Structure 1
Amino acid sequence: MATDKDFERIALSLPGTEARPHVDRTAYRVRRIYATLAPDRQSANLMYGPSDQKRFCAARPDAFFPLPNKWGEKGATTIILSAVSEDELREALDRAWELHQ
């Protein structure tokens, strides 16, 4: 089971990543935001495209789901941290990071 601390550690280990406040969340970015940690620190949003969103959601529908809005239609995906292993979290963050360099 991954935690918010795992999320922060992994995200900040990715080259060039900075954490900054973004509305009510903490945003992780390189050139653009690739992930945001929710205020309750139980979930995060990952900025994918539709094909990556589909792949992650199909593989683990209990852990990944599209945001229920226009951002979700474009690939923004919520991950429930407690539903994934640290390795799954790393894979999910790595892919979002790759897309936003």
Structure 2
Amino acid sequence: MRPEEFRRIALDLPEAEEKAHFGKPDFRVRNRIFATLPPGGRVVFKLTPEEQTVVTEAEPGIFRPVKGGWGRQGWTEADLAAADETTMRSACRMAWRNAAPPGLRKAAGYP
């Protein structure tokens, strides 16, 4: 998957917008970051530690925890080149749900 394809997936989510975080593209819902797109063919998702465990065990060739404290909080990086659209769409929805307020999640059908 190319960064442009990921960008389309992220921006398809309700109220998602692209901004920048320390000069790197990020994706937000109501100004809360749910994913970033650093250089090097990666994407970083805001997952829960439990979600991180699930994705890293299911797809170790794609997902890995971010190093350090951010990774222990659930921030997870994915290798775009190794991922398909279905996998990225699923991870992106999880991350979006973790950042979106409850009312928007419910209205969008992502409880």
Same structural fold, with TM-score higher than 0.5 when normalized by the shorter chain: yes
Query: 1:6 Cα deviation (Å)?
Result: 1.1
Q: Determine what percentage of the aligned residue pairs are the same residue.
A: 35
TM-score normalised according to structure 2 size: 0.86
Q: Answer yes or no: is the 8 Å Cα contact 1:24–1:39 preserved in 2.
A: no
Instruction: Spell out, residue by residue over 1:32-62, the C-alpha distance to the aligned partner (whole angstroms, 9 max, x if none).
Output: 100000134x001001110000000000111
Q: Which has the larger radius of gyration?
A: 2
CA distance in 2, matches of 1:24, 1:62: 27
Query: What TM-score results when the alignment is normalised by the length of structure 1?
Result: 0.94
The Cα shift of 1:25 comes to 1.1
Aligned twin of 2:33: 33
Segments of structure 1 that go 5 or more residues without pairing to the other structure are none
Q: Tell me the residue number matched to 2:78.
A: 79
Q: Which consecutive segments of 4 or more residues in structure 1 shift more than 3 A? A: none
Q: What secondary structure, in the 3-state scheme, does the structure 1 residue paired with 2:11 have?
A: helix
Q: Give structure 2 stretches of 5+ with no counterpart.
A: 101-111
Distance in 2, Cα, partners of 1:37 & 1:52: 19
Structure with the greater relative contact order (CA < 8 A, sep ≥ 6): 1 or 2? 1
